[in-house]
Amino acid sequence: MVLFDIMYLGQNALFANQTGVRTTSENIANVNTPGFSRREAVFRTAAASSFGGLRLGQGVRVETTRRILDGALNARARRQNSIAEGSTARANVLARADIAFGDLEGGGASAALDDFFESLDILAASPQDQTARTNVLATAGRLTETLNGYGRELRLLREELNAEIRAEVSEVNRLGAEVADLNSRITQSAQPSNDLLDRRDQLIAEIAQRSGLQTIEQDNGLVTVVLEGGHTLVAGNEVQELVVVANGPLVDITAGDGGVERDLTDDIRSGSLGGILRARDEDLAATQTAVDDFVTTFATEFNARHQAGFGLDGLGGRDFFALPSPGASSAEFLRLDPGLSNDTLAAASDPTLINGDNTNALSLAALRTDAVVSGQEPGDALRGLLQDFGDRAFSSEAASQADGFAAQQLTELQQSISGVSIDEEMANLLRFQQSFAASATIIRTADELTQDIIALKR
Amino acid sequence: MRVSTQMQFSLSVRTVNQRQSELLRTQEQIATGRRINSFAEDPVASRKVLREQANLRQVESGRRTSGDAQLLLENAESALIGVADALQRAYELNIQLANDSFDAPQRRSGADEIRQIREQILSLANTERNGRYLFSGLGNTADPFQLDGTFNGDAGRLTVPVSRNTTVDATVAGGEPFLDAAGGRNTLESLAELEDALRANDSVQINAMIDEMLGTLERSTAARQQIGQRLQRLEFVDDVLARTELAANATLAVERDTDISEAVIRLRESESGLQAALAITGRLDDLSLLNFI
């Protein structure tokens, strides 16, 4: 009976267009949801059936609703996002350090060194003057304190990252566990749920913000997540968690990979975790070494010159600075020699002329322009290492902007494919609404035709 | 390219953020007068800034030490003027009293005057400034001279750093204006000898002293000229310091300070950029299909 068939066809159309409205509504509702890929109801013509030798179509079927996305583009955007997050995290850490040493207005070690050398010039001009001696000790005290501050700040900046590393690692573990859970739920359902797939993609993107990674998608729908450096974080419904272990005052990241413990600290170099590790183990570590080396060389040279002279008590061979024992940071633990006083400050070279001789003070003051620290004047060497640090902070900020821009562009490209456009959805809504109304008309028409036939009987 | 709703808004938000941060940075530069405030903003310029600040500090300490040196030299100069006046008087007395027309009592009173001159010169030779004997050499413990001419000082001189790699002598070598380079009697010993000869009415010895007294006068004058040259050198050092200061300040102005007129123009640009970004964000609302159905 063709008439009933028309009604059936109308019903199919009604259902299909309802699904269209439903899908459109879902898209509109999720316009601001991160990680949501817009959906599209996939229509196809229903299989034809025979009526009196005719092959007539059965209308429309909704095959599925599919997510609209470009997997390769997503992977690429995710990779670039890892890089951008890494650059930003590194730049943020270095910006904190910049506040500690970037002083250009006279509060830094360069200014303290200038003060110290000025006090030595004054001592050389008036070696007999007790206030000149007191002044040398005072400026030397300020110089050591400023250098101690640099050493301490660099150590603390690195140690303070422990908490951030722990937080990021536990977040990676949590996200990994959720991906593993979704993996098992996705393989259980026959028809892949778009929501679960979206959610899993979003979780993987969030892991990627913390560490660079690669995904391997299997035929059964499982996704394996492999972190930078080769550690498999998620395999099937199993997560192999990262572990934070103490390494002296700092922390390292390890993971048990199939029973083999491996250190990932030097492997993770992108994502916010990678950025933090890079800032800690490359930038700040290099600056720390440079500051320590500077202090060691400078204090050793100064001590050698000081030992050659004689104090007001006629004795010589004494140190001016006290360097810590090897292994400790010379910047953080540099002190003035505990025995140092106005009387032991060695301005004289001739032990018989101790009260008026300034020859050794001249040699101490001349250190200002002697190229004794890696072939440079001490002030230039100090400013050089500050500049090296500044270069790192500056380039990390520039990289953060450039990488962020590239990531933004890829995200936009991704959005251009998968993002919801309200205008488009409104147009679709109108289209489905009209088609729905037309489908309803089909049913009414079929009904009227049926009524007409029933009326024949009266 | 297909444009999603999020793209439109995120672009607006990003542009507005970017413009606002430009605006804030420019505002900060104008308000503080500093183009750069930390190493990370411009590492190369920051290093130059610290380098020039170090140069300025060196100029400052050079001014201070050269001031100290100048004080010592000027005091030595005025002491030597007094010494020369006194020795001139001794020389004149010597020539006058060598004439045999003077008898023993007259020569004795001449001897008394020489005695006073000895004491006057002793006090000048032991002059102290800023806790430092001007003519004692490097050692500075006790009066360098005694009335009988005994010299306790040494031959050193105080050398003072005044600018980059430059030092200036702030004193003459210890005892130099009074000691005989040839190893003969020093000024105070010569005066003692003259006094003895006058008191003894020894015409031969009085006559013999004339050349020696002229020699002491010449020694003090030569030392004074040396000091004059050092004071001149200090003036030259002051010029060098002033030039260094000028150059350092000029570099600082270029590297560190905000070019206000350029910054104000930039401020205008950022302002209108921000206005445009805000205006576009407001328009987005009008451009939706929702307004037409």
Residue A205, pLDDT score:
94
CA distance A127 to chain B (A): 9
Which of B40, B62, B167 has its CB closest to that of A102?
B40
CA distance B71 to chain A (A): 11
Q: Do A114 and B58 touch (CB under 8 A)?
A: yes
Which residues on chain B are in Cβ contact (under 8 Å) with A118? 57-58, 60-61, 64
Q: What is the pLDDT confidence band of residue B115, given thresholds at 50, 70 and 90?
A: very high
Q: Which of A69, A73, A126 to mutate to test the interface with B (most CBs of B within 10 A)?
A: A126
Residue A1, pLDDT score:
63
Query: For chain A, how big is the Rg over CA atoms in Å?
Result: 37
Buried b (16+ CB within 10 A) or exposed e, A61-88: ebeebebebeeebbbebbbbbbbbbbbb
Residue B10, pLDDT score:
85
Per-residue pLDDT tens over the stretch B64-77: 999 999 999 999 99
Residues A361 and A127: beta-carbon distance below 8 Å:
yes
Q: What is the pLDDT confidence band of residue B141, given thresholds at 50, 70 and 90?
A: confident
Q: What is the pLDDT confidence band of residue B181, given thresholds at 50, 70 and 90?
A: confident
Residue A105, pLDDT score:
73
Which of B6, B34, B50 has its CB closest to that of A419?
B6
A–B interface: beta-carbon pairs under 8 A: 194
Residue A5, pLDDT score:
84
CA dist B159 and A233 (Å) reads: 72
Give this prediction's pTM: 0.86
Which of B1, B42, B61 has its CB closest to that of A121?
B61
CA distance A56 to chain B (A): 37
Which residues on chain B are in Cβ contact (under 8 Å) with A24? none
Positive/negative CA dihedral, A313, A318, A322, A325: negative
Q: Do B61 and A117 touch (CB under 8 A)?
A: yes
Per-residue pLDDT tens over the stretch A77-94: 999 999 999 999 999 999
**Mean pLDDT for back-to-back runs of 10 residues, chain A (458 residues):** 83 92 94 90 87 82 90 93 96 89 78 94 92 95 94 94 96 96 87 86 95 91 91 92 93 83 90 96 95 96 96 93 92 95 93 90 94 93 92 94 93 92 92 93 92 86
**What mean pLDDT is predicted for residues B38-50?**
89
Strands B132-133 and B166-169 turn out to be: unpaired
* Half-sphere exposure of residue B121: CA atoms within 13 angstroms, side-chain side: 32
Q: Do A358 and B36 touch (CB under 8 A)?
A: no
Q: Is the pLDDT of residue B200 over 90?
A: yes
Name every residue whose Cβ is closer than 8 Å to that of residue A118 and which is 6 or more positions away in sequence: A139, B57, B58, B60, B61, B64
Give me the percent of chain B exceeding a pLDDT of 90.
65
Which of A125, A416, A426 has its CB closest to that of B293?
A426
Which of B7, B131, B167 has its CB closest to that of A412?
B7
Nearest CA in chain A to B158: A358
Q: Which of A117, A387, A391, A424 to mutate to test the interface with B (most CBs of B within 10 A)?
A: A387
Per-residue pLDDT tens over the stretch B213-241: 999 999 999 999 999 999 999 999 999 99
Structure tokens at A74: 């997503």
Residue A78, pLDDT score:
94
User: What value does the mean pLDDT of chain B take?
Assistant: 91
**What mean pLDDT is predicted for residues B82-90?**
95
Closest C-alpha among B240, B224, B234, B75 to residue B159: B234
